[in-house]
Amino acid sequence: MFKPISTAFVVIGFGLTAACGDAGKPRETGIDRIEYPEGFPFMTYAVSVSDLCDGTPSQSCKLAEYPPPGATLVELSQPEPGRLCMKGSVGKGGWAFIATSYNVYGGDGIEQIFDAASLGITQVRFKLEGPPATGIIIRGMVVKNTYCPIAPHLECRDGGFFLTDPKANEILEFKKSGEVVMPFADFVQQETGGLREFDASKLEGFIFGVSYAGPANFCISDFEFLDEDGKVVTP
């Protein structure tokens, strides 16, 4: 049995959310998304996502413009090359995360898939900075379809793979700053009906999430893809 976690974080996909504002007051609803973030090899974009508007585009959701008191409010930033940060807070029963992608999307879905396996990539290494006391949970995503014309293109990806401790057979929760290594072999499917194999030849991206109420402030940096010998693979 795996360690139980918030079920909301398990089943929700990701769309696009807005930058933070004062609860109960109108705020801008621009997409909180960074294209090709500098210092993150192979990455095509990063986005912050939350339960506010249920992960749908913020332009179509009034809650993003007038968030109620206590709502989840987060924003994404890149304070310097090689570093992505999320700040804000998660409301009761809510969730928030940074989602990354390595694929190129067009109007009908995915136009170019990142084949990490062909490059000999088997794992990822990065630094986690200042995670909340409740911890960060990491998920991996792979492509399951290339045709998904309706944004945010959830039909194209399977994000049910959780980073686990293979010895303890538990989903990992990271509560301290430090270096994290993510072997692709340690991503295990947790969703009923999901793909069984974490196929690195169809890598979509990763999710770094907070699934408990409270602060949602943390950064990821020094992101590197590694081969099976631990050598860095660059574009």
Farthest CA pair distance, the chain: 52
- The DSSP-derived string for 126-159 is EEEES--TT-BEEEEEEES-SB--STT-GGGEEE
What is the model's pLDDT at position 63? 67
Mean pLDDT, rounded, for 20-38: 59
Mean pLDDT, rounded, for 178-197: 89
Look up residue 8 and give its DSSP letter. H
Mean pLDDT, rounded, for 130-139: 94
C-beta separation of 185 from 121 below 8 A: no
Mean pLDDT, rounded, for 172-180: 96
Nearest CA-CA partner of 195 in 158, 227, 168:
158
Of the two residues 222 and 58, the one the predictor is more confident about is 222
**pLDDT surpasses 90 at 228:** yes
What's the residue count for the chain? 235
C-alpha 9: how far from chain center: 11
Helix (H, G, I), strand (E, B) or coil at 63: helix
CA-CA distance, 188 to 140, in Å (whole number)? 9
- 184 phi, psi to nearest 5 deg: -60, -30
CA-CA distance, 218 to 209, in Å (whole number)? 10
Mean pLDDT of the chain: 82
Give the amino acid at 84: L
C-beta separation of 49 from 17 below 8 A: yes
State the pLDDT confidence band at 84, using cuts at 50, 70 and 90.
very high
Domains of the chain and any CATH numbers? 7-233 (2.60.120.430)
